[in-house]
Amino acid sequence: MERTYVMVKPDGVQRNLIGEIIFRFEKKGLKIVGLKMMQISRELAERHYGEHRGKPFFEPLVEYITSGPVVAMALEGKDAVSTAREMMGATNPLKAAQGTIRGTFGMDIGRNVVHGSDSTESAARELGLFFAPGELVEYKRELDSWIYE
């Protein structure tokens, strides 16, 4: 099974969307193997968005993601990265399909409610940034036999 990283961003937390977002991933069949609310430090934000350093939107991005608490999630399932990305919708909520998380709740590209890893490589990197060794759990979920062949 594949793992991915998903974050409910500060706007999603402030808008009371945490439960709705978790609900959607769980109902799809993805298994939560790590979950925590946290305040991202500037140092962690700069590491997380490191590939954008030097771009004009880097500083506003760091300021935004550190402006309030977030919910960090580690999700597991078959094709978890692509499944979560599809459920979130396009980065720009105005271009996201209706019914996706961003298409349903987002109005502005800078306040698009969620972040999700875009590849298995970035998932591994981001999970390592937001979860310490031992924080992700392994468990058998009886329901899996009703989700996967």
pTM for the full predicted model: 0.94
Cα angle 110, 116, 119; round to 5: 125
Checking 140-143 for CB contacts under 8 A at 24+ apart, the result is 141/31, 143/29
What CATH superfamily is the domain 2-138?
Nucleoside diphosphate kinase-like domain (3.30.70.141)
Structural domain boundaries in the chain: 2-138
Span 94-108, average pLDDT: 96
Mean pLDDT along residues 91-110: 95
CA distances from 35 to 47, 69, 146, 149 (A): 20, 13, 24, 27
Residue 9 among known ligand-binding residues: yes
pLDDT, averaged across the chain: 96
91 appears as a binding residue in the annotation: yes
Can 52 be counted among the known catalytic residues? no
> What average pLDDT does the segment 122-141 reach?
96
Q: Give percent above pLDDT 90 in the chain.
A: 95
- Annotated binding-site residue? 131: no
Q: Where residue 84 falls among pLDDT bands split at 50, 70, 90?
A: very high
What is the per-residue pLDDT across 23-60, written as a single tens digit (0 to 9) for each?
999 999 999 999 999 999 999 999 999 889 999 999 99
Inter-CA distances, 147 with 23, 27, 37, 42, 141, Å: 16, 10, 28, 39, 10
* Confidence label for 98 from pLDDT (cuts 50, 70 and 90): very high
Of the candidates 74, 100, 115, 127, the residue annotated as catalytic is: 115
Q: What is the pLDDT of residue 123?
A: 98
Query: What is the band of 71 on the pLDDT scale with cuts at 50, 70, 90?
Result: very high
Residue 57 among known ligand-binding residues: yes
Mean pLDDT of 78-95: 97
